[in-house]
Amino acid sequence: MTRTAKQALPSEPGIAVRAARPAQPRITRQSGRQELKSAATRERLVEATIRCLVKYGYAKTVTPLVAAEAGLSRGAMLHHFANGDALIRATIVELHARRLNAFRRASQAHAGDVRGMVRDFWQQLQKPGFIAFQELAMAARTDAALAAILLPMQAEFSARFQSLAGELYPEWIRRPERLRLAMALSQVLMEGMRIASLTGAVEESLIEPLLDFLEASVTALRPDETAARSGTVQA
């Protein structure tokens, strides 16, 4: 039997026998290009899903429609997403990622500026991603299969969102309950305002006063504002 590299013969005492390393998969330039192409196609399908949700609603967003919106055959789509559930899951992941990234960018761009943060978040809600997510959220109320996908992912997103808020606003660390209240107030009020504006349930002239009210409410919750008013330093 031929001796392999770094393998001792049985007659060589005191030398450990080393197993040959398994062959590593060879990454070629062609395979790298193929992976990039596949990722781009997946992104294209997710973007098409978002557009379909906005234009047609969840009930009509079926895989043949998404494939046509993306300019692909249904067979090509199924090569990247085995079924509609997989595509919806990937779409939710993308919508959540966009929201987290937007929150991080806005917080860094408007550090310490509550007014800037409130207006930036309001502008984010004007984008198609908000409508697409609301279509999914509303449909999940009566669609058990969709709810089984969306609700666990939403719980995970909420935990990540709160963690990111704590990271971006360390001055709130001693009063985490105030941070949670400020975040919840901002989300509920502005998302409710956006939905009301889409359905004509709120007058356009009330938008700015409501944003001003939110700004004042969040500012009042800030730990440094409480300390400044009382003249004390919080423990």
| pLDDT one-digit tens code per residue, 122-145 | 999 999 999 999 999 999 999 999
With pLDDT > 90 as the criterion, what percentage of the chain qualifies? Answer: 74
Question: Does residue 8 have a pLDDT over 90?
Answer: no
The helix (run of H) or strand (run of E) holding residue 50 is helix 29-56
| Tokens matching residue 204 | 């356009």
Query: What length does the chain have?
Result: 235
Residue 118: count of CB within 10 angstroms of its CB = 25
Question: Does residue 99 have a pLDDT over 90?
Answer: yes
**With left for phi above 0 and alpha for psi between -120 and 50, is residue 88 left, alpha or beta?**
alpha
Q: CA dist 38 to 27, 63, 77, 81, 85, Å?
A: 16, 18, 11, 11, 19
Using 50, 70 and 90 to split pLDDT, how confident is the model at 35? confident
Q: What does the DSSP 8-state code read for residue 9?
A: -
Question: Does residue 7 have a pLDDT over 70?
Answer: no
**Which residues, 6+ apart, have CB-to-CB distance to 127 below 8 Å?**
none
For 180-217, the DSSP string reads HHHHHHHHHHHHHHHHHHHHT-S-GGGHHHHHHHHHHH
Rounded average pLDDT over 30-53: 92
* Separation between Cα atoms, residue 178 and residue 218, nearest integer Å: 9
Angle at 81 between CA 77 and CA 87, to 5 degrees: 105
Q: What is the pLDDT of residue 33?
A: 85
